């Protein structure tokens, strides 16, 4: 195999090189602003929330599906949590559990319809994208929910370690790393993870091999939903409100991160670190373009083009094999 350098494929190294080049270029262009501690904290916070969604998206895409509803599920969960997060009303555990459960429930609904209703995932999750947004708007009455308790705000607002250390990272990055570690472990080291790859690689052969294909399919949407719930909780804490319009377009960031990371859209192939690199790539790029004063609308155009380019590359690489 000529396309490998040691453990890594040329493509993986290529993305990594592009990533380093991007960081260096941004640092030069912005005169160092992009690598200032202040800016790095901003990038890490953004990457962490998107990254949690990307991990869920990775499970779904490896299984051969897609989840367009993550941004909407994030919004419903954030709104639902905020409704129970007013000062002095409920214990912090209530909004936390609620956000995760709402996400899990909506994810299970997606998964059930895909796995047992045999409706294409694109359609199911497109429907959920719209329904979720509607639910978030109904629950919140159409405007953000404010008056959030301090403990809730501290969920995502703090730093780690808490105080007195010279170097501290945003606590959000700790959540992100925990989710990545858990996701990577499950996907690569467990029987379940291997089944997810098998279903994405060849559903029929997985079925004949005795794998419960329906359950596997349902579970990946449940995981994606629950992680969207977690992301919704953290975002609500970060912006100290439950905004029904939050998370719009986040599905795109997650899909972009996963595809840039070399995880095949046709399922069954890709590595967990691809999703991490992809996530940070998207966050750094978005931040860099902001620093350079590029209008956000133009950034959308670029992001879309990058997704298409990444998938194009994936398909071409596959054809050569």
Partner 1 sequence: MAATEKLVMRGISKSFGNLRALNNLDFTLRRGEIHALMGENGAGKSTLMKILIGIHMADSGEIFLDGEPVVIASPREALARGIAMIHQELYPILDMSVADNLFLGREWKRNAMGPLSMVDRRKTRRETENLLAGFGIGISPDAAMRGLSVAETQLVEIVKAVSQGAEIIIMDEPTSAINEKEADRLFAHVERLKTSGASIIYISHKIDEIFKIAETVTVLRDGNFVASRPTREMTPELLVSQMVGREIDDIYPPPPPDRHIDGAVLEVSGLSDGYRFRNVSFQIRSGEILGMAGLMGSGRTEVAECVFGLTPKTSGETLLRGKPADVRSPRDAVLGGMALVSDDRKQKGLNLAATVGENISIVSLEECSRLGIIDRVRERAGVDEYMKRLAIKAESADTPAASLSGGNQQKTVLAKWLMAGPEVIIFDEPTRGIDVGAKREIYQLIRELAAQGKAILMISSEMGEIIGMSDRVIVMADGELAGTLDRSELTEEAIMTLAANLGPTGKGVR
Binding site for partner 1 (CB under 8 A): 1-2, 189-192, 194-195, 197-198, 200-202, 204-212, 264, 266-269, 321
Whichever of 150 and 194 has its CB closer to partner 1, that residue is 194
Q: Is 56 exposed, middle or buried (0-12, 13-18, 19+ CB in 10 A)?
A: buried
Whichever of 143 and 190 has its CB closer to partner 1, that residue is 190
Bridge-based pairing state of the strands 8-9 and 4-5 = antiparallel
Q: Supply 195's token pair.
A: 């089944």
Nearest Cα residue to 124 out of 139, 113, 135: 113
Alpha-carbon torsion 41, 46, 51, 53, what sign? positive
- Least Å from the CB of residue 218 to partner 1: 15
Whichever of 97 and 215 has its CB closer to partner 1, that residue is 215
Whichever of 163 and 191 has its CB closer to partner 1, that residue is 191
Number of residues assigned to the chain: 321
Give the Cα separation of 209 and 69 in Å (integer).
31
Whichever of 10 and 302 has its CB closer to partner 1, that residue is 10
Give the Cα separation of 54 and 80 in Å (integer).
22
- Least Å from the CB of residue 213 to partner 1: 9
- Least Å from the CB of residue 320 to partner 1: 12
- Least Å from the CB of residue 321 to partner 1: 6
Whichever of 38 and 319 has its CB closer to partner 1, that residue is 319
Backbone angles phi, psi at 116, to 5 degrees: -110, -20
| Count of other CB atoms within 10 angstroms of residue 21 | 10
Q: 63 near 188, Cβ under 8 Å?
A: no
**Secondary structure element (H or E) that encloses residue 76, with its range:** helix 70-83
Give the Cα separation of 286 and 290 in Å (integer).
6
Backbone angles phi, psi at 8, to 5 degrees: -105, 150
Whichever of 163 and 204 has its CB closer to partner 1, that residue is 204
Give the Cα separation of 16 and 73 in Å (integer).
31
- Least Å from the CB of residue 56 to partner 1: 19
Whichever of 38 and 316 has its CB closer to partner 1, that residue is 316
Cis amide leading into 161 (omega within 30): yes
- Least Å from the CB of residue 13 to partner 1: 18
- Least Å from the CB of residue 188 to partner 1: 9
- Least Å from the CB of residue 201 to partner 1: 4
């Amino acid at each position: 195999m000529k396309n490998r350098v040691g453990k890594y494929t040329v493509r993986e190294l290529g993305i990594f090189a592009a990533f380093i080049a991007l960081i260096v270029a941004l640092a030069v262009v912005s005169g160092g602003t992009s690598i200032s501690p202040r800016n790095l904290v901003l990038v890490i916070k953004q990457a962490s929330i998107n990254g949690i969604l990307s991990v869920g998206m990775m499970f779904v895409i490896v299984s051969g599906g897609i989840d367009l509803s993550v941004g909407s599920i994030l919004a419903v969960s954030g709104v639902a949590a905020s409704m129970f997060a007013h000062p002095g009303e409920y214990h912090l555990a209530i909004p936390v559990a609620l956000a995760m459960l709402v996400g899990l429930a909506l994810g299970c609904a997606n998964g059930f319809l895909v796995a047992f209703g045999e409706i294409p995932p694109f359609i199911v999750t497109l429907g959920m994208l719209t329904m979720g947004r509607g639910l978030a708007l109904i629950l919140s009455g159409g405007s953000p929910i404010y008056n959030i308790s301090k403990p809730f705000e501290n969920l995502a607002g703090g730093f780690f370690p808490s105080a007195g250390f010279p170097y501290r990272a945003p606590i959000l990055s700790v959540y992100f790393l925990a989710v990545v570690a858990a996701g990577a472990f499950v996907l690569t080291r467990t029987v379940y993870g291997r089944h997810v790859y098998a279903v994405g690689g060849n559903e029929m052969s997985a079925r004949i091999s005795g794998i419960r294909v329906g359950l596997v399919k349902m579970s990946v949407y449940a995981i994606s939903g629950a992680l969207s719930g977690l992301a919704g909780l953290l975002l609500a804490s970060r912006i100290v409100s439950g905004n029904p319009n939050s998370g719009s377009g986040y599905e795109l960031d997650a899909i972009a991160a996963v595809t840039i990371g070399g995880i095949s859209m046709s399922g069954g192939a890709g590595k967990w670190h691809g999703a991490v690199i992809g996530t940070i790539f998207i966050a750094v790029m978005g931040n860099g373009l902001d620093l350079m004063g590029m209008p956000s609308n133009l950034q959308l155009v670029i992001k879309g083009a990058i997704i298409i380019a990444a998938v194009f590359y994936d398909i071409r690489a596959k054809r050569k094999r």
